[in-house]
Every structure is written in C-alpha cells, then in structure tokens.
Structure 1
Amino acid sequence: MPVDHYENFPVASVLLPARLRPPVEAIYAFARGADDVADEGDALPAARLARLADYRQGLAAMGRGEAVADPELGPLFARLAPHVAAHGLPLQLFDDLLDAFSQDVVKKRYADFPELCDYCRRSANPVGRLLLYLYQEASPDNLRRADLICTSLQLINFWQDVGIDWQKDRIYLPQDSMARFGVDEACIAAGEATPAFIALLDFEVQRARAMMREGAPLARALPGRLGWELRLVVQGGLAILDKIEAVGHDVFRHRPVLRKTDWVRLLWRALTY
C-alpha cells in the first residue's frame, strides 16, 4: 500500500484466499482503468468525461446481462460480470467510483472537510465495501468501519501528495482549513513548509489518524486472511502518517513512502495488534 495508480487496493495479495483473487483482480482492473481515464495522458476534459460515460454505459449493460460491444471495455466487463453475479456485488458501488473519477476531471478544490469526505465516500469507500461483500461480511457496523478506514487511506494519500497534486492543479486540503491556518495557494505553489502549512497539515494528519483508529477494530473483527490483510493496510496507513510527522510535515521535499525495510516492522505491528 499504496499500489500503482489506484492507491490502497490489495491487488490479489497472497493473504487473500485463492478463490477471491480473480474477483479482486477484476474489480481492480475496472477501477484502475477508469481512474487512468481521469488522470493519465493528455486528453482534454471533454474526452475524459466521454470515455467515463462509456464505462457507465458498459456498467448498465452488464447490469442488464448484455454484452458490451466496445472493443476495449467489452473484455473488461466480461471478466467482471460473473463475479458481480456470483457475489451479489452492488452495481451502485461501481457507479460511485465512476462518479468520483468524473469529479476528478472537473473539480479541483474542496470547500470543507465534509465535502472532501463525500468525495472519499465515492472514490475510496466502495473498495472496502466490495471486499466485505466478497467475504460475506457486509454488516452495517463492518461497512461503517470500512468506510472510516478507506476514507482515512484516501486522506493519507492526499496529505503525502500535496505537491504532486498541485502539479495537476488539484488541492485537496479543505479551503476553510487553509483559511483558518493562513495558508494560501502561493505557499503550496512554492512548495514551502512554512509554520502555517506545518500547522495545517498536522491538523489534517490528526484527523486522518483519528478516523483510522476508529475504524481499525474492523481488522480484528474480520476472520482469517482478510483480517490480516486489513491489519497490514491499517498499519501501513498509520506508518505513512508517522513518516509525515518525522519529516516535519515537509511533504514537498520528502514525500513519505513505505520501503522494504518498513514491512518487517509493519508485519510485527499487525501480528501484535
């Protein structure tokens, strides 16, 4: 964690039961492909939105039990369809992902934390929910805690990538928080970890950590390999927050990442959690 383009997604981890690796890979292929449409390459916004609309049409066709004619998307949906049917995966969760990816094309600023969390509800939370459905563990309390973990993971990714996101003209730091701490866009553009920026990012780090800790009991509640997978994901997210603090919140010059040497420590934390 994170992996490739689509962050925080456990892609067919060795901790997942073999029977669930094909559906997880199919879900990941859907999410990664659509996310790349929104983020990668040099296509204009109108072309990105049009292609994401093709994904929506494919999703609707799959829901009706129809083949998708698009030569690129047809195989993707043909791969996904049997897993959706076999596990009763809600199509709304896939539609939520597409909605978030479309939003990324056109929306570059967030007024406040609730607005940002609403984006995370569609961009990150469906991943955790889909895994719970695959494991037949989608109780209301489990879903609530999974949402907390997934939203926290998305926020953590934002806070480690403030400078990278600026290069895409995106600021995920809530505008009201920026105003409260006296941070303007010029500070982010300059890549300066000023005292005001440090205070702002520390505030957001603590919110993400509190959210992660509130959701973390889910990792102990889930059985078998999924529980172990989630323990590692939770510890990985918390470790990134620790690294942000360790570099003095200067994520412009020191982007926190997990290295091979971190995984032994994270595994120990997961075992003793």
Structure 2
Amino acid sequence: MSPDEYCQQKAAQSGSSFYYSFLFLPREKRLAITALYAFCREVDDVVDECTDDSVARNKLAWWRREVTAMTAGNPSHPVTQALAPHMTRFKLQARHLQAIIDGMEMDLDQTRYLDYPGLQKYCWHAAGVVGILSASIFGYSDPATLQYAEKLGLALQLTNIIRDVGEDARRGRIYIPVNDLQQFNVKAADLLKGQYSEDFVKLMQFQAARARAVYQEAYALLPPADRKPQKTGLIMGAIYHTLLDEIERDGFHVLQQKISLTPIRKLWIAWKTYVRN
C-alpha cells in the first residue's frame, strides 16, 4: 500500500463528512487534503484510543519528532510521507501541524473549559489551524480568506461539540463551557450520567445559535474572488450546518446517541453546494 493509499483508506474508513467534500478537488489538491486529514485523524486517535495518558503523551511526542523529521526530508510514517511533497507546494507550515498536536495535548491536560474564550483557544488548535492549512491547499488570492477559514473551522468544531456531547462525556470530557452550564442550570454530572432535560435542550439551543452565528461570521469574511477555489470549505460548511439542523430537529438527543447524515445525503449536499458555488 502506498502512502497516498494509506491516507485514502484512513479518510474513507472514518466516515467523516469531510471525505465527501474532497471528491470534487483536482487530484493534487485531493491528495494533499486527504494526507492532512489523515494526519489529523492519526493524532486525534492517539488521545481517543489510549487509556493511559503517559502512553498518549509519548505517542504525541513521537508525532512531534515525525513532523520535524518530515520537514528535514526524512518522514517515516505513511501519512507524513504522503504529506511531505505538499508542504512546499501549498506553503504549509510545520508550526501549524505542531499546533494541532498541541490541541491533542490539551485534551490530556484539560477536560473542562470555564468560558467561551477558553473553549475558543482549544478550538483554534483542534480546528481553526486545520482551516488555515486547508485553505492553503484549496488556494486563495486574498489573505482575508485565511480569516474565513479559521472562523469556519471554529464553526465546524462547535458543531462537533454539540454532536458529540454524550460521547465526550463518556470519555470524561465536557467541552460546553462551565459558565454556560451554570447559566442554564445544567450540572456536569447530568452530562456524565446522560441525563436529558428541558434545561439541557435550552442549553443546546444556545450552543447551536452560537455555532450558527459563527458560520455566518465565517461566510461574511470570504472574499468573493476566492469563493470558487474555496468551494470545498463551503461544502464542509453546508454538510455540517445541515447536521446541526438535523440535531436540533431531533430535539438534541445527543447524550445517548450520535446523530449523523447518511452518505447519500452528504453526497447530495456536496454536489448541490458545488454546483451553486
């Protein structure tokens, strides 16, 4: 199996909505974004799959060294071997890859966030910086596009947090800010126990409204000149925005289940968004 095939398999197996947005890219950009996505999956899986924090930290330290080795021309992992040729071609910066690893380490160091600004810092590492790297691969002419991409990354991550509230709680992590929980009289213990209530629904409605506002802020930042090359990001946004709507229509029953869109529906949204833009 070649490095590119390894990354393709990693992306396809994840079932992620991102995979469907990659389908419309030219081959070179599709290979680059797939390799970047595979990198994100690899380091994210370290935290999600390791039950021993010390093992997870050692693995993340290995990935830090691997990023350094890649930039020196000596990648050893299929993902970095696939990603290496694209670093210069698309002006990707190793410091941004290291920032993604920083975000994974934050998951080991912190399981609660006091307020929204604190959560935003985490989201930048987990998704905002991924948006910047992705926009660089898609192509842009106006630097303001990177601000759009960073903001879109935040919106996508906020949607993920809503979708994964129950799953994250079962791992001992709560990303909903503490002061938001207090505002809506929802205790952290309620999430950990999967306790559904009217107060929880109101809390999630507030989180969804925040995410939707960030989507609108992101789209407003996208320069018209870069709308065409950034179609893939717009597809990601459309799929995730539809997912958010679906979660709300379902009454935010996210504590005991993970709500998702069918592959056919994702593909339809991707095609519709591609044609419109």
- For Structure 1 versus Structure 2, the TM-score category normalised by the shorter chain is 0.7 to 0.9
Partner of 2:37: 28
Partner of 1:129: 132
Give 3-state SS (helix, strand or coil) of 2:22's partner. coil
1:144 to 132, 144, 147: 147
Partner of 1:57: 65
Query: Any conservation in 1 of the 2:103–2:126 contact (CA below 8 Å)?
Result: yes
* 270 and 83 in structure 1: CA distance in 2 versus 1, 3 angstrom threshold: closer
Partner of 1:222: 226
Aligned positions of 1:185-200 closer than 5 A: 185-200=188-203
Alpha-carbon distance, 1:238 to partner = 1.4
- Report the identity percentage: 28
State the one-letter code of the partner of 2:65: Q
| 2:270 maps to 1:256 | no
Alpha-carbon distance, 1:7 to partner = 5.4
Partner of 2:6: none
Q: Figure out how many residues of one structure are paired with residues of the other and give that number.
A: 265
* 16 and 112 in structure 1: CA distance in 2 versus 1, 3 angstrom threshold: same
- Higher alpha-carbon deviation: 255-264 or 44-53: 255-264
Partner of 1:163: 166
Query: Any conservation in 2 of the 1:219–1:227 contact (CA below 8 Å)?
Result: no
Alpha-carbon distance, 1:122 to partner = 0.8
Partner of 2:74: 67
For 1:92 and 1:138, locate their aligned partners in 2 and report how far apart those are by CA, in whole Å.
22
For 1:119 and 1:232, locate their aligned partners in 2 and report how far apart those are by CA, in whole Å.
24
* 128 and 4 in structure 1: CA distance in 2 versus 1, 3 angstrom threshold: farther
For 1:270 and 1:22, locate their aligned partners in 2 and report how far apart those are by CA, in whole Å.
19
Partner of 2:24: 15
Query: Any conservation in 1 of the 2:22–2:34 contact (CA below 8 Å)?
Result: no
State the one-letter code of the partner of 2:46: V
- Higher alpha-carbon deviation: 50-59 or 136-145: 136-145
* 75 and 232 in structure 1: CA distance in 2 versus 1, 3 angstrom threshold: closer
Deviations 1:129-178 (A, max 9, x none): 11222234163311111111111111101101111111100101001110
For 1:179 and 1:38, locate their aligned partners in 2 and report how far apart those are by CA, in whole Å.
28
For 1:27 and 1:95, locate their aligned partners in 2 and report how far apart those are by CA, in whole Å.
12
Give 3-state SS (helix, strand or coil) of 1:124's partner. helix
* 100 and 11 in structure 1: CA distance in 2 versus 1, 3 angstrom threshold: farther
RMSD of equivalent CA atoms: 2.6
| 2:49 maps to 1:40 | yes
* 89 and 247 in structure 1: CA distance in 2 versus 1, 3 angstrom threshold: same
Alpha-carbon distance, 1:28 to partner = 2.1
Unaligned stretches of 5+ in structure 2?
A: 1-10
- Higher alpha-carbon deviation: 201-210 or 136-145: 136-145
Deviations 1:98-134 (A, max 9, x none): 1001111231111111111111111111222112222
State the one-letter code of the partner of 1:45: D
| 2:102 maps to 1:102 | no
State the one-letter code of the partner of 1:129: I
Unaligned stretches of 5+ in structure 1?
A: none
* 260 and 95 in structure 1: CA distance in 2 versus 1, 3 angstrom threshold: closer
Name the structure with the higher helix share.
2
Alpha-carbon distance, 1:15 to partner = 0.7
Partner of 1:231: 234
For 1:266 and 1:108, locate their aligned partners in 2 and report how far apart those are by CA, in whole Å.
34
2:181 to 174, 178, 183: 178
Query: Any conservation in 2 of the 1:220–1:227 contact (CA below 8 Å)?
Result: no
Question: Relative contact order, CA 8 A, sep 6+: which one is greater?
Answer: 2
